[in-house]
Amino acid sequence: MSHDTDKKAVITDDEAELARLGYKQELKRDWSLLQNFGVSFSIISVITGISTLFLYGLTTGGPAVMSISWIIVAFFTLIVGLAMAEICSSIPTSGGPYFWSAMLASPGQSAIAAWITGWFNLLGQVAVTTGISYGCSNFIATTATLHTGFEPNSRHVIGIYAGVLVSQGLINTFGVHLLKYLNNASVVFHSAGIFSIAVAVLAKAPKLQSASFVFGKFVDATGVGEDGVGWGQRASKAYVAVIGMTLSPLFHLCQEKQRLM
């Protein structure tokens, strides 16, 4: 009984904070910290990144770019994350960035700032969703070939792709209450998968490379045309490195999470 009372008090406080910002509570606030973490963890999806982009990283800079850029990008991403977390704790609104833009910009620029931020964010979400879903369809098609005579072609992949997108749309439209449980399951599977891959690679690697190879070996396999000259020679090695380095959903769910302040 005491727990329910405390929960209602937290929700009331959160609603009061939204009201202070001129924003009415519209969504049901019943997501826990773990369930919100599951959203970000699922979108980061280390397993998906390794499977779809590992070869890309090896050919656009190789070990040196992949290792050093991981450290550099992680550092600056952490700074951005800390800054956005500070804003999120002060302005915990659904939709996040576009509302923040309106609040942080000057009164005369708030509308255009929110409009630009909202549209760029939407385009990014569409690109991410379609890209990951296409990767998923390729995985499904490849899995279907195991111990079978099935040979997928482009039509099969596109058909699976359409099915994945439709299923996602149905879940988000009619079964949104299931998302928090799916996110929790995703955390378990991703954690187990990452651990298994790390152990398998270390246990089965025929040779462990030296630190000079990991942090100093530069590979440019971006060659095009008959001459096979890569972009490291056509442009510069820095260009290839930057391309190789180009390898925040929680803020949109602020209004569905408990105890944000």
Residue closest to 223 by CA, chosen among 214, 215, 232: 232
Query: Residue 239 — pLDDT band, cuts 50, 70, 90?
Result: low
Q: What is the mean pLDDT of residues 223-238?
A: 58
What percent of the chain has a predicted confidence (pLDDT) above 70? 77
Q: What is the mean pLDDT of residues 121-150?
A: 85
**Residue 175 pLDDT greater than 90, yes or no:** no
Supply the DSSP symbol for 138: H
Return the pLDDT at 158: 92
Q: Which residue has the higher pLDDT, 206 or 243?
A: 206
Return the pLDDT at 247: 47
Q: What is the mean pLDDT of residues 6-23?
A: 66
Distance CA 48, CA 46 (A): 5
60-61 and 219-220 as β-strands: parallel, antiparallel, unpaired? antiparallel
200: left (phi over 0), alpha (psi -120 to 50) or beta: alpha
Distance CA 110, CA 107 (A): 5
The three-state secondary structure class of 53 is: helix
**Residue 238 pLDDT greater than 70, yes or no:** no
What percent of the chain has a predicted confidence (pLDDT) above 90? 7
Range of lowest pLDDT (79-83, 173-177, 189-193):
173-177
Range picked from 48-57, 84-93, 228-237 for highest mean pLDDT: 84-93
**Residue 4 pLDDT greater than 60, yes or no:** no
Q: Positive or negative CA dihedral for 175, 181, 183, 186?
A: negative
Residue closest to 141 by CA, chosen among 127, 165, 158, 119: 158
> End-to-end CA distance of the chain, in Å?
23
Please report, to the nearest 10 degrees, the dihedral formed by the alpha carbons of residues 33, 38, 44, 45 taken in order: 160
Tens-digit pLDDT profile for residues 82-130: 888 888 777 777 777 888 888 888 888 888 988 998 898 888 888 888 8
pTM value? 0.62
Query: Residue 258 — pLDDT band, cuts 50, 70, 90?
Result: low
Q: How far is CA 193 from CA 7, 58, 200, in A?
A: 34, 22, 10
Range of lowest pLDDT (81-85, 215-219, 239-243):
239-243
Residue closest to 37 by CA, chosen among 193, 247, 188: 188
**Residue 159 pLDDT greater than 90, yes or no:** yes
Return the pLDDT at 176: 73
Return the pLDDT at 32: 72
The three-state secondary structure class of 184 is: helix
The Cβ-side half-sphere exposure at 63, using a 13 Å CA radius, reads 10
* Averaged pLDDT score across all residues of the chain: 76
The three-state secondary structure class of 61 is: strand
Q: Which residue has the higher pLDDT, 204 or 25?
A: 204
Distance CA 94, CA 15 (A): 12
Widest CA span in the chain: 75
